[in-house]
Amino acid sequence: MPSLVDMLLNPSFWFSVLRVTTPIIFAAIAALITDKAGIMNISMEGTMLFSALAGTIVSALTQSAWIGLLGAMAAGVLLSLTLAYFTLELKTDVILGGVAINLFADGGSIFILYLLTGDKGTSVSLASKVLPSVTIPLIDKIPVLGAIISGHNALTYIAAATVFAVYFMLKSTPLGLKIRAVGENSSAAQSVGVSAKKIQYLSLALSGLIASLGGAYMSMAYLPNFSRNMTSGRGWIALAAEAMGQGGVLATSAASLVFGFADAMANALQMFSLPAELVGIIPYVATVIGLILYSVRIKNAKKRRGASKKPL
């Protein structure tokens, strides 16, 4: 019987870490972009779920996985723009708006699925398409590393590319600077001619776009069809990962990997002599620690803000 060490030395374990992390990383980066623009967007779970359904439907209708992916992206952006409209135009509390999006996606996705297929559970009756897996030439020949890095679904590589693109965008482009400026102090940004509303609209749309890729991964890569509530809390774990990352793109990605590792670990450890209940709490303990770090961070931020403000 293989031991724990064997498991950790097995490339397929590390491969599964990346596979489990992919949807979390998309959602965490999506949350980070709006956070940078000063909006606490908690609608990742709903956006992912809805995009997952949209991707399945569009790919089944067009018989093309890539057009399906575009459909998922459109759905994600649309949902985020809805949230943006409520938050920025109608001044709804963004948390309530996020809750509404999540509730809507939960029930609404089942409703739409039922209208189209007559089925309330899964989309197995739709002949939807799956995005291809990619074998990276040369790298797949490297022992161990090749087995871990090569052979993932295209979206896993897109996730890695997204991390670096967003890192670069926030750090070194005028748009990134504007987003950060609006997030830090929107009045100051506006005083130099940056439209805070426009930037926040844009960041929410980007956030929806990236979260939708996570959704598409669930129904068009990880699994070949949509099933109800299939995101199963990954959008919430992503929020915790973003919190643990404390606003840094690379740190958030690293935190997502920690959660992915915890989850993969929990899956694999069950086969050893550990009780399921104990192993099952690993991802949740990791989440709670993440959320504690987050609230500490908020508290410190409040203190800082409070200190810089002159008493009235």
Partner 1 sequence: MKNIKKTSFLLALILFAASAFSGCAKAPEPQAGTQPSYKAVLLVPGTLGDKSFFDAANAGMQKAKSELGIETKVIEMGTDKTKYEPTFRDVCAQDWDLIISGSADMTDMFNEFSLEYPDQSFLNYDATTDAVNSNIYSVGYAANELSYLAGAVAALATTSSVSGMNPEARIGFIGGMDIPGINDFLVGYIKGAQDVNPEVKVVISYAQDFTNPGKGKELALNQYSFGADVIFSAAGGTGMGVLDAALEKGLYAIGVDSDQALLFKSSDEKKASQIITSAIKQIDMVIFNGIKAGMDGTLPVGSYKLVSFKDQGVGIARNEYYDKIMPAELKAKVDEIEKNLIDGKVAVPSIVGMPQEELDAMRDAVK
Residues engaged in binding partner 1 (CB under 8 A): 1-2, 10, 12, 16, 19-20, 23, 86, 90-92, 96-97, 100, 103-104, 106-108, 110-111, 113-114, 119-122, 124-127, 218, 222-224, 227-230, 232, 234, 263-264, 267-268, 270-271, 273, 276-277, 280
Cβ proximity to partner 1: between 86 and 236 the closer is 86
Torsion of CA 234, 238, 239, 242, to 10 degrees: 180
Minimum Å gap between C-beta 135 and partner 1 is 15
C-alpha dist (Å) from residue 114 to 53, 103, 108, 192, 247: 12, 17, 10, 50, 39
Minimum Å gap between C-beta 50 and partner 1 is 12
Cβ proximity to partner 1: between 50 and 294 the closer is 50
Minimum Å gap between C-beta 75 and partner 1 is 16
Cβ proximity to partner 1: between 13 and 66 the closer is 13
Cβ proximity to partner 1: between 277 and 307 the closer is 277
63-90 burial, b at 16+ Cβ within 10 Å, e below that, comes to eebeebbbbbbbbbbbbbebbbebbbee
Residues 6+ apart with CB under 8 A from 286: 240, 258, 259, 262
Neighbours of 202 (CB within 10 A): 18
Cβ proximity to partner 1: between 113 and 243 the closer is 113
Cβ proximity to partner 1: between 121 and 132 the closer is 121
Minimum Å gap between C-beta 16 and partner 1 is 6
Residue whose entry in the numeric block shows the structure tokens 């790298």: 139
Minimum Å gap between C-beta 260 and partner 1 is 11
In angstroms, the CA 32 to CA 248 distance is 8
Sign of the Cα pseudo-torsion (182, 188, 192, 198, in order): positive
Minimum Å gap between C-beta 225 and partner 1 is 8
Q: List strand residue ranges (DSSP E) for 136-182, in order.
A: none
Minimum Å gap between C-beta 173 and partner 1 is 33
Cβ proximity to partner 1: between 28 and 264 the closer is 264
In angstroms, the CA 50 to CA 79 distance is 8
Torsion of CA 19, 25, 26, 30, to 10 degrees: 170
